[in-house]
Structure 1
Amino acid sequence: MRQDVLPHPAAPAPTTRRTQIAQGIRDSFSVGLGIFPLGIALGLLIIQAGLP
């Protein structure tokens, strides 16, 4: 009985520090877009409550 051999996956391309930073910014951008309006809303709530 013959077993099919799967090809080896390609080795990942070496990443530079600049590429890693760009990937980190791209990954965290959507989170920042979600937290920004929440921060504004909570900041307005605190100001309206009379806290400094």
Structure 2
Amino acid sequence: MLLFGQEGPGLTEEARRHASLVCSIAQFGSTRSINAGAAAAIAMHAWIARHAQI
């Protein structure tokens, strides 16, 4: 299961306690958060690139 937190605050502490792995997306410049839909697309693409049997 993939969980995505709110822009800015991220995941709740309870969600973080139950997670087996917490990742973040590095950003540069003045942007402090990324849209959850964009973050989901990046995370799913990275997962497929790593695990797909092509």
* Shorter-chain TM band: 0.3 to 0.5
Return the structure number with greater helix share: 1
Larger radius of gyration: 1
Structure with bigger RCO (C-alpha 8 Å, 6+ apart): 2
TM-score scaled by length of structure 2? 0.36
